[in-house]
Amino acid sequence: MANIFMFFDRHRGWRKGKVTQYKKSPDLAECMRDLLDIHYPDVKVVRVVMDNYCTHRPASLYKAFPPEEARRIPRRLEFNYTPKHARWLNMVEIEIGNMNQECLNRRMEDRAFLISESAAWESQQNQKKATINWMFNVDSARSKLTRAYDKLIGQN
């Protein structure tokens, strides 16, 4: 078994996958640090869109790093969460689906093979600057998610 964390920047047509053994707080924390320090070192704030999985929280950073590091990272992150039962709103989920169909649709012999194959797919997609033609906007979201919006408005 393995886990793949995926980053996707629709505007650049860039994606980065990271194969980890687990999907735990330290794994996510390392990915967030890599995102900022390696992939976006000169950007003031990086907006991340995630599902509501239990480790997808700033608290995961405190479980993985010393306090100074755990405070440094979220200062440059803006966390946005997709509504529960609406994973299809998350473009990373679409990218993972693409990777599953185009790359992971067969048995992976071992973790090294998985890493190699997913890196090759990622490189090919990045060279093409493949992106998503996102046609979902605020108005269509309100129309499609009326019940969810009604619940959110009722909470405020």
By DSSP bridging, strand 14-20 and strand 3-9 are antiparallel
For 93-142, how does the pLDDT look when each residue is reduced to its tens digit (9 = 90+)? 778 888 888 888 888 889 899 999 999 989 999 999 988 877 777 777 67
Collapsing DSSP states into helix, strand and coil, what is residue 82? coil
Question: Which pLDDT score, from 0 to 100, does residue 33 have?
Answer: 96
Residue 18 makes CB contacts below 8 A (sequence gap 6+) with 4, 5, 6, 30, 31, 34
CATH of 3-155, one of 3.40.50.300, 3.30.420.10, 3.40.109.10, 3.30.1360.120: 3.30.420.10
Going from N- to C-terminal start, the domains of the chain cover: 3-155
- Amino acid identity, position 140: S
For 1-57, how does the pLDDT look when each residue is reduced to its tens digit (9 = 90+)? 888 999 999 889 999 999 988 888 899 999 999 999 999 999 999 999 887 776 778
Residue 2 makes CB contacts below 8 A (sequence gap 6+) with 19, 20, 21, 108, 111, 114
C-alpha atoms less than 13 angstroms from C-alpha of 11 in its C-beta half-sphere: 2
